[in-house]
Amino acid sequence: MPYADANRTIYYHLGGSDSVLIIQNGKKLVQKFKNSSASLLPKEILKFFSLSSKTYAVNLKTKEVYSFNTKNYELRLLGRSNVFESAQNVRLYSVQDKLWVAGTLPAVVVLEKK
């Protein structure tokens, strides 16, 4: 799932790899994650999202959450989160300073930075 930041730059993790596809102003660039503590296996894909002006990524297979620096492409492991346990196919919606997490169950979790 592609992610677009506030500057309309698009980030798309190239599944199972240590690289991200970046599309900015019509130009494409493949960039390796820097200082990555992620050990991504084939078929594992990171989903990017933002919360309070910061960018994060989640591996829905392992439930690991990472901080992602869009300036230097650093990907740092923050830990695991049970918020994403509801389903393998979670949809993420960033609205202002809140993150809405919807899975296959008839419920939605809302996260907000305090």
Would you say residue 98 lies in a domain? no
pLDDT tens per residue, range 1-45: 788 888 899 999 998 888 999 999 999 999 999 877 667 767 788
Q: CB burial class (10 A; 0-12, 13-18, 19+) of residue 105?
A: exposed
Domain membership flag for residue 46: yes
- Specify if 104 maps to a domain: no
Number of domains observed in the structure of the chain: 1
Q: State the residue range of the domain holding 44.
A: 3-87
* Residue 93 belongs to some domain of the structure: no
Q: Which residues pair with 95 in a beta bridge?
A: 98
Amino acid at 101: V
The answer as to whether 110 is a domain residue is no
Please spell the DSSP secondary structure of 13-67, one letter per residue. Answer: E-TTSSEEEEEETTEEEEEEPBS----PPTT--EEEEEETTEEEEEETTTTEEEE
* Each residue's pLDDT tens digit, 30-85: 999 987 766 776 778 888 888 778 888 888 788 888 889 999 999 988 877 666 66
